[in-house]
Amino acid sequence: MRMTNKIMQNNSLYNINQNKILQDKLSTNMATQKKLTRPSDDPIVAIRALRLRTSVSEITQFRDKNAKDADAWLTVTEDALSTAGAIIGGPSGLINQMTKAANKDLTPTDIDSIMQQIKSLSDELYATANVDYAGRYIFTGYRTDTPLSFTKDVLSKNLNYNITEQFTINSLDSINYTDQKYVAGLSRGNYNDPIRVGIEEQGIVNSDIRRLRLSYDEIAATPAPMPNITYMIGTPPVETDFIAAHGITYTTVSAHTTYSAGPPPVLDPYQTVQAMNSADPPIMGVVFVPETGELLFSDTAFDQLRTDINFNPNIEIRVSYDKNVWKEGDLRPEHYFAAVSTEVRDDGTIRTINYNPEYLDGVGNRQIIEYDVGYNQRIRINTLAEDVFQHTMGRNVSDLERAVNELKAIQVTVDDLRAIIDGLSEGTPEFIQVQKQLDAAVKTYDFVRENVHKMFENSITIMQKALDDINLAVTDSGTRSARLDLISNRLLSQKTTFEILKSENEDVDIAEVAIKLTSTELSYNAALMATAKIMQTSLMHFI
């Protein structure tokens, strides 16, 4: 092949240009410190780079965002639970206060003073349950925009709830009741009233009454119907009306009803049940007390319910009722029960929401919130209110408050009668009358005082159970936090590994590139010099 000067010039220019392209590439590598400027530079490296970058991005999302947010949520939860535990079991907590109040040597005034502290601690406990993280309430499941208890803003709305609570036979308890008859309200101003003259201690009766205590008091009684008591029997379960199935006498008696002469006498709710039990034959009846949210069962009604349940061990008791009177601090039913909320808006329109209907179908909806914190790894971050903040604690404090008020009232009666009898001559008819009244009042006081003592002792057990639930929740949350720490540490290690692999795949060796760039520059300069000499020679030089 004949090689002309023109061919040599063209080849030289082409090679110089290729050398310049290489120099430009190496200069770009040096400036960017990356091997690639476009995928076509090395498709294999480019594909690997995309995969490694995706892995680093995912790990960064898991560790720096998801895991940190989850850790913050768990920290807030643990702090709130620790505060709740201190309120119940701390040095000045509910358990210690109730232990002090259970001391029989205390006067009603002393007990009332302790009771005020107990009530304040109870209110603070439920206030703690409204804690939030970044505007999200942490104990309310999926409803993170809804506080656990009613607040002033919510109370301004006209809300009515139809609530369905689900119970078992173990939900029924008993309350000790002292039938005071006319001893209640007896004072130095009315001890000579004809209806109170015949009071004797033999007329004071003390007994236990079976009850089913609803989660709320101040239940709507009119115009809404009384609570509907049903139970689920069979497989599949069939809803049966307990009242209608057994022809049970079902009545409403206000807690404010006071005893008065008859015939027939007007009885308070508990006296009504006592009368049912003492009737011949005993009456199978249930008494609804709307102010206290109690369903009181006569002995025969309770025996019938227990018989039904013994025959059907898996029976579920349901009580449906309406409630439209709420106060600040009440736990919102949508976080605990199947409930239908009805709101009447200012423009007259009605908004209805059906909460948790699946509860009535036996489908558990735990409303667990989980975060993705790794590849195919999820961790639960929330603790549900139903696990730690039960209605039982608040309802128990309400029972204690009523019992302490009753004790204070009967103490006033005893003091009045003692003051009266000190001013009478012994042996006179009036002295004998007041002495009998005093004996009846003292007997009543002893019964009520013993009842208050037992209620405080039982409350200690209830609060200890609540404290155990909170400690269990703290432990569970701490376990999740520890697991999250392990995952975060592993993610950090994985991120470091992937970043090293990513760097090895994408980043250039600066020293190597610098050497190549210097070599390319020398080659380029040498090529220019050689080509310049070649370009100076033409065919005319050989002619």
Please give the pLDDT value at position 18: 79
**Gap between the Cα atoms of 25 and 38, Å rounded:** 11
Using DSSP's 3-state secondary structure scheme, residue 230 falls into strand
Pick the closest to residue 149 from 396, 393, 462 (CA basis): 393
Please give the pLDDT value at position 277: 92
The string of DSSP letters for 490-516 reads HHHHHHHHHHHHHHHHHB--HHHHHHH
DSSP 109: H
Any residues with CB less than 8 A from the CB of 16 and at least 6 apart, and which?
524, 527, 528, 531
Please give the pLDDT value at position 332: 92
Please give the pLDDT value at position 226: 83
pLDDT digits over 289-333, tens only? 999 999 999 999 999 988 888 777 678 889 999 998 888 889 999
Please give the pLDDT value at position 87: 94
Please give the pLDDT value at position 414: 92
Decide if 140 contacts 319 (C-beta within 8 A): no
**Gap between the Cα atoms of 188 and 114, Å rounded:** 28
Quick one: CA dihedral 10, 12, 13, 19, positive or negative?
positive
Q: How would you classify residue 15: left for phi > 0, otherwise alpha for psi between -120 and 50, otherwise beta? A: alpha
Please give the pLDDT value at position 401: 93
Torsion of CA 96, 101, 102, 107, to 10 degrees: 160
Quick one: CA dihedral 458, 463, 468, 473, positive or negative?
positive
Please give the pLDDT value at position 9: 72
Please give the pLDDT value at position 20: 76
Please give the pLDDT value at position 2: 62
pLDDT digits over 235-244, tens only? 677 888 899 9
Q: Tell me the CB-side half-sphere exposure of residue 388, using CA atoms within 13 A.
A: 33
Please give the pLDDT value at position 363: 67
Using DSSP's 3-state secondary structure scheme, residue 187 falls into coil
**Gap between the Cα atoms of 322 and 320, Å rounded:** 7
**Gap between the Cα atoms of 139 and 87, Å rounded:** 17
Please give the pLDDT value at position 541: 55
pLDDT less than 50: residues of the chain: none
Q: What is the pTM for the complete model shown?
A: 0.81
Pick the closest to residue 359 from 94, 167, 498 (CA basis): 167
**Gap between the Cα atoms of 400 and 451, Å rounded:** 10
Q: Facing residues of 179 across strands?
A: 205
What is the rounded average pLDDT for all residues in the chain? 85
Pick the closest to residue 154 from 364, 357, 341 (CA basis): 341
